[in-house]
């Protein structure tokens, strides 16, 4: 059935492994590897995690990418991978392997750029490290808010499913409140950056593939 609502025709490939599963595996392996590296030398964190002060000095630019596959603890990893398991599988079916992977990376990179740019407005973030897949995940959430606005989803602390068009902004606000009231380090500006790029890509798809997006929206209502 996935072929019915895909945006792009499925191409034959020698790679049968799902991209989403591959991303899950890479995230887990990188978490283990990076945790071991930092355990033996915490100073190497600068080589892995995204830090605005480093980037603005032109140092460790590759951390825009590596930080996407690093997490701040097992719970952080579990929550993100649990979310990716469901959100990513649906995104891969709709977009196809190649475009799903490219969009996931772009959303994560844009989230990192947003975090660095926000350090000018939020000086407290200037020397703060950012890690995690949540920026890319919010890119997928922003995408689904546009192309599947009535998709029912469950979110934290709310026992009943909520339509994606309402759930997406609620998730952003909830995380922002948790970070402020609970003094919990959450990359809210990175989430917002990923979310915005997801909205933009969703609008692009909706304009270019009007019939398919209409069908997808109706199918997941």
Q: Which residues are catalytic?
A: 134, 191
For 83-103, letters b (16+ CB in 10 Å) and e give bbeebbbbbbbbbbbebbbeb
CB neighbours of residue 151 within 10 Å: 20
Residue partners of 210: CB distance under 8 A and separation at least 6? none
CB neighbours of residue 217 within 10 Å: 16
């Amino acid at each position: 059935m996935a072929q019915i609502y895909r945006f792009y025709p499925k191409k034959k490939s020698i790679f049968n492994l799902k991209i989403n599963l591959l991303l899950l595996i890479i995230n887990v392996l990188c978490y283990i590897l990076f945790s071991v590296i930092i355990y033996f030398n915490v100073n190497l964190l600068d080589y892995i995690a995204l830090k605005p002060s480093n980037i603005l000095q032109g140092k460790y630019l590759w951390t825009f990418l590596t930080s996407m596959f690093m997490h701040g603890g097992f719970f952080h990893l579990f929550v993100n991978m649990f979310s990716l398991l469901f959100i990513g599988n649906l995104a891969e079916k709709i977009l196809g392997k190649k475009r799903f992977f490219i969009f996931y990376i772009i959303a994560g990179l844009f989230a990192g750029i947003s975090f660095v740019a926000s350090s000018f407005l939020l000086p407290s973030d200037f020397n703060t490290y950012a890690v995690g897949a949540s920026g890319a995940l919010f890119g997928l959430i922003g995408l689904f808010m546009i192309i599947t606005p009535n998709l029912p989803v469950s979110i934290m602390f709310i026992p009943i499913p909520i339509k994606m068009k309402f759930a997406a902004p609620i998730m952003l606000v909830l995380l922002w409140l948790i970070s402020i009231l609970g003094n919990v380090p959450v990359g809210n500006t990175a989430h917002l950056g990923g979310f915005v790029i997801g909205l933009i890509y969703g609008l692009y798809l909706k304009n270019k593939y009007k019939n398919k997006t209409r069908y997808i929206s109706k199918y997941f209502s």
